[in-house]
């Protein structure tokens, strides 16, 4: 184990920088093996006179430093592995620093690196220090001018942030370009791209009538696959004007797709860089989920121009300021483009799967963390998705109009600044006149509150007393919690399914059919009057807070809600709760709940009315979702119960599934739009049930579905059904798919992922074999996530009792740490739920964790995840 344990950085230690950078002029002479970077920094001292200038730097070769034009001697500065320190500086000065870097050696994909022969950068959070020495912190904002020089043939396209100032040819087959970004920005938003790229172009006229050139750069041959991203971009630009009054500010907006990228995409000012997985789409290669994700991520990165770039974060503890808000903005956009009901279900599903899991485990942290070892580890579901939920709650509490006032105020007041979460909340307080002190606890306390509800109906007085109580379990470092400010949206349903009015005691008019209660105490009573019959409680409508809403419904109440709740989210929720309860009971030996199975009948009868919603009603909770409800997770029992319920539902409604399946066949040309996608989703949900058995009839249907598919969504649905089967048709289809898409890495990722997700016993062996496949490359994060990430999400096989799954992921994590520590740490997150398993599995996982912590030279990223997981 390493002796020099990485040190944590604490929010309480924040202090403003001692120096300011007004301008930085960068000069890149590109070469994959040795790139020369000149940086001219115009600076001023803002702190104490004797404060030395401490610049960050990592993996840099320092060539020279000059102060106000005069080269510094070796004894006038000091350099260590992470800093360049210069003492005795005047009040204002110009520094010239020359460094050399090796982009082709940069497997961490942070800083300047090469991907398929092109140069690209990733600087958030702390990658700029791998390009040159700098004050690599988000509260240092400067104006950037970037000169790029490179071979003209190999790198005809030279891009950076802002506007193109000049370009030209140079002797020796070289050329150059100079870009200038007039908006002061932190260095994490710096970007550079150089390569031989194809492009598509379009334009957008902003609300004030300015024309903006839009360009998307991709590998030659992929131009058509960028059209959907371009269309999404234009819709996002328009939406941000309408929904938030935000207009784009530069004359040009560019996006570049790259193959090797650590996550989805990056909002560099005027030059977004995208993982090609969330940019490229065609009907033959992308699923409906891919289209939805591309639309959402394009919008997300574009929206960052205001929530992130023009207003950035003071320090990384404020990360959710830009990420939570921007997620909330992209969710609003996608909901408007598609279906609010379905989008909300998808959001909550993802939140529970990832964020609730995080909140319940050893890596739990508040939306505003107090400390970190590696900030890369804090780009989490808590910062992003829970952060977005907090904004949704603020909107619920202050109302739509005041919400817009608050965001207008925030954009006006903090434009050009590096702001804090506190600045944000204050805008809401001022716009609404409300005291949000207690609401701030949502940013400070980790963990998922449980809101318990008990209702007492008094027939004689027609009153209904609702007792709400909140509890929040301790999380690491937070043994005691205070009650939170929780908006609880609710309604009452009568036995016939009709909504009842909610009139609170003391009100003299009949109340509305839905209201939002504010739970602020550990427990509170709300008395409703004039309640004509005992109501069924519909609590937490629209998922009004990132909490567990625990209501003790009878199975009959649940089916009433499934059929009649006017809140579509709670209709879905009632079905999920019923299905989960049914499977839990099956694990105790019960047979499948006939009420639940029967309740799907009306869902099928009405399925054509809203196909995407019906598809969601028909999809059972995932195995890992069921696991969250169990004190000790039993992956085999969960799998068996889920399969059992699928088969029962399939048998009970076979005729209806077959009828719908036949009626929903593809007609007309492909459209990625919500309606067409909903139709495919419903048809594929039917296929899931029609192929419930592992027999030749099911295999034949799945195979036919696959072969007759005219788009990737349907192909994948056919293949997914086959992965569960023993029929020879499975291998036949997988081979066919492989050969058809042998040249398309993104599609082969799907092929790998499906095999890694198979419940069959040989999955672990197959995954090990696939790691040797020519298409697999441990240096490309997409390949690693597609195969190993998908495998660790396969609860049944990752948690195989013999430990073979743990060993596989452990081996990959240890190997990857020396290549790409960020991705290694991310993959290691697979172990975060380990204490919820039985002692034998825990022992096997512990061994993997200890073995990993013992590797020599472990990265601080992996050290942080492993040591916290083990703690
Ligand atoms: N801001 C980037 C994420 C950077 C992750 C750095 N480890 C993408 C986004 O959230 O839009
Ligand atoms: Zn973001």
| Residue to mutate (ligand 1; options 108, 262, 263; most atoms within 8 A of CB) | 263
Mutation pick for ligand 1 pocket among 122, 323, 822 (CB with most ligand atoms within 8 Å)? 323
CA dist 289 and 292 (Å) reads 5
CA of 330 to the centre of ligand 2 (A): 9
Closest CA to 41 of 71, 19, 63: 19
Distance between CA 809 and CA 833 in Å, rounded? 14
Distance set, CA 547 to CA 167, 335, 389, 542, 580 (Å): 55, 21, 10, 12, 17
Residues near ion ligand 2 (CB < 5 Å) are: 323, 326
Q: How far apart are the C-alpha atoms of 174 and 36, rounded to whole Å?
A: 15
Go through 468-507 and write b for each residue having 16 or more CB atoms within 10 A of its CB, e for each that does not: bbbebeebeebeebebbbbbbbbbbbbeeeebbbbbeeee
Residue nearest ligand 1's atom 1 by CA: 266
| Residue 513 burial by Cβ neighbours in a 10 Å radius (0-12, 13-18, 19+) | middle
DSSP 307: B
Task: Give the side-chain half-sphere CA count within 13 A for 691.
Answer: 29
Residues contacting ligand 1 via CB (< 6 Å): 124-125, 263, 265-267, 300-301, 304, 323, 376, 379
pLDDT tens, 692-741? 999 999 999 999 999 999 999 999 999 999 999 999 999 999 999 999 99
Q: Which protein residue's CA is at the shortest distance from atom 2 of ligand 1?
A: 266
Q: What is the mean pLDDT of residues 676-689?
A: 98
Q: Residue with the nearest Cα to atom 5 of ligand 1?
A: 124
Q: What are the φ/ψ torsions at residue 101 (nearest 5 degrees)?
A: -135, 165
Q: How many CB atoms lie within 10 A of CB 220?
A: 9
Instruction: Say if residues 845 and 831 touch (Cβ distance below 8 Å).
Output: yes
Q: Which residues contact 735 (CB under 8 A, 6 or more apart)?
A: none
Nearest bound ligand to CA 321?
2
Beta strands 271-275 and 252-258, pairing class: parallel
Which ligand lies nearest to the CA atom of residue 189 in the structure? Answer: 1
Torsion of CA 178, 181, 184, 188, to 10 degrees: -80
Distance from Cα 188 to the centre of ligand 2, integer Å: 13
Choose the residue to mutate in 109, 266, 822 for probing ligand 1, maximizing ligand atoms within 8 Å of C-beta.
Answer: 266
Mean pLDDT of 410-415: 99
Atom 7 in ligand 1: residue holding the nearest Cα: 376
Q: What is the 3-state secondary structure (H, E, C) of 75-99?
A: HHCEECCCEEEECCCCCEEEEEEEE
Which residue's alpha carbon is nearest to atom 3 within ligand 1?
266
19, 86, 831 from 73: Cα distances, Å: 22, 11, 50
Contact 177, 235 (CB under 8 A): no
The SS3 assignment for 547 reads: coil
Q: What is the pLDDT of residue 4?
A: 74
| 13-45 pLDDT per residue, tens | 999 999 999 999 999 999 999 999 999 999 999
Q: Tell how many helices (H) and how many strands (E) occur in the chain.
A: 30, 33
Closest CA to 93 of 62, 73, 66: 66
Question: Taking a C-beta distance cutoff of 8 angstroms, is the pair 382, 367 a contact?
Answer: yes
Ligand 1 pocket: which of 264, 278, 299, 781 to mutate (most atoms <8 Å of CB)?
264
Q: How far is the CA of 367 from the centre of ligand 2 (A)?
A: 14
Out of 301, 311, 320, give the residue to mutate to test ligand 1, the one with the largest number of ligand atoms within 8 Å of its CB. Answer: 301
Closest CA to 124 of 264, 254, 218, 10: 264
CA 284 from chain centre, in angstroms, equals 25
809: tokens are 């992921």
Average confidence (pLDDT) over 530-546: 98
User: Where does the pLDDT of residue 841 fall: very low under 50, low under 70, confident under 90, or very high at 90 and above?
Assistant: very high
Is the four-CA dihedral 432, 437, 440, 446 of positive or negative sign? negative
> What ligand has the least distance to the C-alpha of 267?
1
Give the mean model confidence (pLDDT) for residues 557-582: 98
Kindly report the pTM of this predicted structure: 0.99
Half-sphere exposure of 783 (CA within 13 A, CB side): 19
Assess if CATH 1.10.3720.10 describes domain 741-871. no
Q: Is 315 exposed, middle or buried (0-12, 13-18, 19+ CB in 10 A)?
A: middle
Q: At residue 667, does pLDDT exceed 90? A: no
Residues with a catalytic annotation lie at 301
> How close is the Cα of 265 to the center of ligand 2, in Å?
8
Q: Of 2.60.40.1840, 2.60.40.10, 3.40.30.160, 3.30.420.40, which CATH number belongs to 450-545? A: 2.60.40.1840
Going by alpha carbons, the residue nearest to atom 4 of ligand 1 is 124
Give dist(CA 494, CA 564) in Å, integer: 9
Q: Look-up: residue for tokens 């690491």?
A: 476
**Ligand nearest to the backbone CA of 278:** 1
How far does the chain reach from its first CA to its final CA, in angstroms? 15
31 three-class SS: coil
The DSSP 8-state label assigned to residue 6 in this structure reads P
Q: Do domains 9-196 and 450-545 have the same CATH topology?
A: yes
User: How far, in Å, from the CA of 322 to the mean position of ligand 1?
Assistant: 10
**Domain chopping of the chain, boundaries:** 9-196, 312-444, 450-545, 741-871
Is the pLDDT score of 71 beyond 50?
yes
352 Rama sector, left if φ>0, alpha if ψ -120 to 50, beta otherwise: alpha
The mean pLDDT value for 642-661 works out to 98
430 φ/ψ angles, rounded to the nearest 5 degrees: -70, -40
122: its two tokens: 């990733």
Per-residue model confidence (pLDDT) at position 1:
42
Q: Percentage of the chain with pLDDT > 90?
A: 99
Closest CA to 347 of 362, 332, 361, 336: 332
Choosing among 1.10.390.10, 3.30.70.270, 2.130.10.10, 1.25.40.10, the CATH entry for 312-444 is 1.10.390.10
Q: How far is the CA of 266 from the centre of ligand 1 (A)?
A: 6
Tokens of 786: 């597609």
759 CB-near residues (< 8 Å, 6+ apart): 639, 723, 724, 794, 796, 797
For residue 100, CA distances in Å to 79, 103, 369 come to: 15, 10, 35
Cα–Cα dist 252/263, whole Å: 24
d(CA 523, CA 858): 47
Q: Please state, rounded to an integer, the average pLDDT across all residues of the chain.
A: 98
Distance of CA 327 from the midpoint of ligand 1 (Å) = 11
CB 256 within 8 A of CB 274: yes
Q: How far is the CA of 238 from the centre of ligand 1 (A)?
A: 23
Decide: 493 and 501 in contact? Cβ < 8 Å. no
Mutate-to-test residue for ligand 1 from 111, 120, 122, 124, highest number of ligand atoms within 8 A of CB: 124
Q: Which of 385, 384, 358, 422 is nearest to 546 (CA)?
A: 385
Atom of ligand 1 nearest to the CA of 262: 7
Which of 63, 41, 64 minimizes the C-alpha distance to 53?
41
Residue located nearest, by CA, to atom 9 of ligand 1: 266
Q: What is the pLDDT of residue 3?
A: 53
Ligand nearest to the CA of 273: 1
Displacement of CA 41 from its chain's centroid (Å)? 35
Q: Do the strands 70-71 and 78-79 form a parallel or antiparallel pair, or are they unpaired?
A: unpaired
Residue 658: CB atoms within 10 Å: 14
Which atom of ligand 1 is nearest to 375's Cα?
Answer: 7
Atom 10, ligand 1: residue with shortest CA distance? 323
Ligand nearest to the CA of 379: 1
Q: Which helix (H) or strand (E) holds 616?
A: helix 611-618
CATH no. of 9-196: 2.60.40.1730
* Predicted pLDDT at 2: 47
Q: How far apart are CA 322 and CA 304, in angstroms?
A: 7
Q: Which atom of ligand 1 is nearest to the CA of 822?
A: 7
Q: Is the model's pLDDT at 847 over the cut of 70? A: yes
Residue 757 has pLDDT above 90, yes or no: yes
Q: What gap in Å lies between CA 350 and CA 369, rounded to an integer? A: 21
Distance from residue 774's CA to the centre of ligand 1 (Å):
30
Ligand 2 mean position, distance from CA 322 (Å): 7
Q: How far is the CA of 797 from the centre of ligand 2 (A)?
A: 32
Give 330 Cα–ligand 1 centroid separation in angstroms: 14
What are the pLDDT digits (tens) for 759-786?
A: 999 999 999 999 999 999 999 999 999 9
CA 304 to ligand 1: nearest atom: 11
Question: What pLDDT is recorded for position 548?
Answer: 98
Atom from ligand 1 closest to the CA of residue 263 = 5
Mean pLDDT of 281-292: 98
Token pair of 753 as six digits: 């992922």
Alpha-carbon span 284 to 741, nearest angstrom: 10
CA distance 204 to 503: 50
Q: What is the mean pLDDT of residues 656-668?
A: 93
Read off the tokens for 282: 């065609």
Shortest-distance ligand to the CA of residue 264: 1
């Amino acid at each position: 184990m390493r002796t020099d344990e990485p040190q944590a950085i604490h929010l309480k230690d924040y202090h403003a920088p001692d120096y300011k950078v007004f301008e930085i002029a960068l000069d890149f002479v590109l070469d994959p093996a040795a790139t020369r970077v000149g940086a001219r920094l115009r600076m001023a001292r803002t702190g104490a006179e004797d404060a030395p200038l401490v610049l960050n730097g990592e993996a840099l070769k320092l060539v020279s430093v000059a102060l106000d034009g005069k080269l510094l001697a070796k004894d006038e500065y000091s350099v260590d592995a992470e800093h360049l320190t210069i003492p005795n500086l005047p009040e204002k000065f110009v520094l010239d620093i020359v460094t050399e870097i090796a982009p082709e050696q940069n497997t961490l994909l942070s800083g300047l690196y090469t991907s398929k022969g092109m140069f690209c950068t990733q600087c958030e959070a702390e990658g700029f220090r791998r390009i040159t020495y700098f004050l690599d912190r988000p509260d240092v904002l400067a104006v950037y001018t970037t000169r790029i020089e490179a071979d003209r043939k190999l790198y005809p396209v030279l891009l950076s942030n802002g506007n193109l100032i000049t370009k030209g040819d140079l002797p020796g087959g070289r050329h150059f370009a100079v870009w200038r970004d007039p908006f002061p920005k932190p260095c994490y938003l710096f970007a550079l791209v150089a390569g031989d790229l194809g492009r598509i172009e379009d334009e957008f006229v902003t609300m004030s009538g300015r024309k903006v050139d839009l360009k998307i750069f991709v590998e030659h041959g992929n131009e058509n696959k960028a059209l959907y991203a371009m269309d999404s971009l234009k819709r996002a630009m328009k939406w941000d004007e309408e929904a938030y009054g935000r207009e784009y500010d530069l004359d040009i907006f560019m996006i570049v797709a790259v193959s090797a990228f650590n996550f989805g995409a990056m909002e560099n000012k005027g030059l977004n860089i995208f993982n090609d997985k969330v940019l490229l789409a065609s009907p033959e290669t992308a699923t409906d989920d891919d289209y939805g994700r591309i639309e959402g991520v394009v919008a997300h990165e574009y929206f960052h121009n205001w929530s992130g770039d023009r207003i950035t974060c003071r320090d990384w503890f404020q990360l959710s300021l830009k990420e939570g808000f921007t997620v909330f903005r992209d969710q609003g956009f996608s909901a408007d483009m598609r279906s609010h009901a379905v989008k909300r279900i998808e959001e909550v599903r993802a939140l529970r799967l990832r964020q609730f899991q995080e909140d319940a485990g050893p890596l739990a942290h508040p939306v505003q963390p107090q400390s970190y070892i590696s900030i890369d580890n804090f780009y989490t579901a808590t910062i992003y998705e829970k952060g977005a939920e907090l904004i949704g709650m603020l909107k619920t509490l202050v109302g739509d109009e005041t919400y817009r006032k608050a965001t207008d105020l925030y954009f006006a007041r903090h434009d050009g600044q590096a702001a804090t979460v506190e600045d944000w909340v204050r805008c809401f307080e001022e716009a609404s006149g409300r005291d949000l002190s207690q609401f701030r606890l949502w940013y400070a306390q980790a963990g998922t509150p449980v809101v318990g509800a008990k209702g007492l109906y008094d027939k004689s007085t027609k009153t209904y007393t609702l007792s709400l109580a909140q509890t929040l379990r301790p999380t690491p470092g937070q043994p005691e919690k205070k009650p939170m400010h929780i908006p609880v949206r609710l309604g009452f349903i009568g036995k016939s399914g009709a909504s009842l009015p909610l009139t609170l005691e003391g009100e003299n008019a009949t109340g509305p059919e839905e209201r939002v209660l504010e739970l602020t105490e550990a427990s509170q009573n709300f008395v409703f009057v004039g309640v004509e019959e005992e109501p069924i409680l519909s609590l937490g409508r629209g998922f009004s807070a990132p909490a567990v809403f625990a209501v003790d419904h009878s199975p009959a109440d649940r089916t009433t809600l499934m059929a009649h709740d006017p809140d579509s989210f709670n209709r879905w929720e009632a079905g999920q709760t019923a299905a989960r309860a049914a499977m839990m009971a099956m694990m105790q030996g019960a047979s499948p709940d006939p009420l639940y199975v029967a309740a799907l009948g009306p869902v099928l009868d009405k399925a054509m009315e809203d196909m995407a919603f019906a598809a969601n009603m028909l999809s059972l909770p995932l195995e890992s979702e069921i696991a969250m409800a169990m004190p000790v997770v039993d992956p085999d029992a969960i799998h068996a119960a889920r399969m059992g319920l699928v088969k029962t539902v399939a048998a009970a409604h076979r005729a209806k599934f077959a009828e719908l399946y036949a009626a929903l066949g593809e007609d007309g040309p492909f459209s990625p739009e919500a309606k067409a996608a909903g139709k495919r989703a419903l048809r594929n949900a039917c296929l899931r049930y029609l192929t419930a058995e592992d027999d030749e009839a099911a295999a034949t249907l799945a195979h036919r579905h696959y072969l007759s598919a005219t788009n990737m969504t349907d192909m994948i649905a056919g293949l997914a059904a086959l992965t569960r089967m023993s029929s020879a048709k499975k291998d036949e289809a997988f081979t066919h798919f492989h050969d058809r898409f042998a040249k398309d890495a993104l599609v082969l990722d799907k092929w790998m992922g499906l095999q890694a997700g198979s419940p069959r016993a040989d999955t672990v062996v197959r995954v090990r074999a696939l790691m040797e496949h020519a298409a697999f490359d441990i240096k490309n994060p997409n390949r690693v996530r597609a195969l190993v990430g998908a495998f660790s999400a396969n609860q049944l096989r990752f948690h195989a009792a013999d430990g073979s799954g743990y060993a596989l992921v452990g081996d990959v994590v240890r190997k990857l740490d020396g290549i790409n520590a960020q991705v290694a740490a991310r993959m290691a997150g697979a172990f975060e739920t380990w204490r919820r398993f039985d002692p034998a599995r825990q022992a096997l996982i512990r061994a993997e964790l200890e073995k990993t912590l013992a590797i020599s030279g472990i990265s601080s990223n992996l050290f942080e995840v492993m040591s916290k997981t083990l703690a």
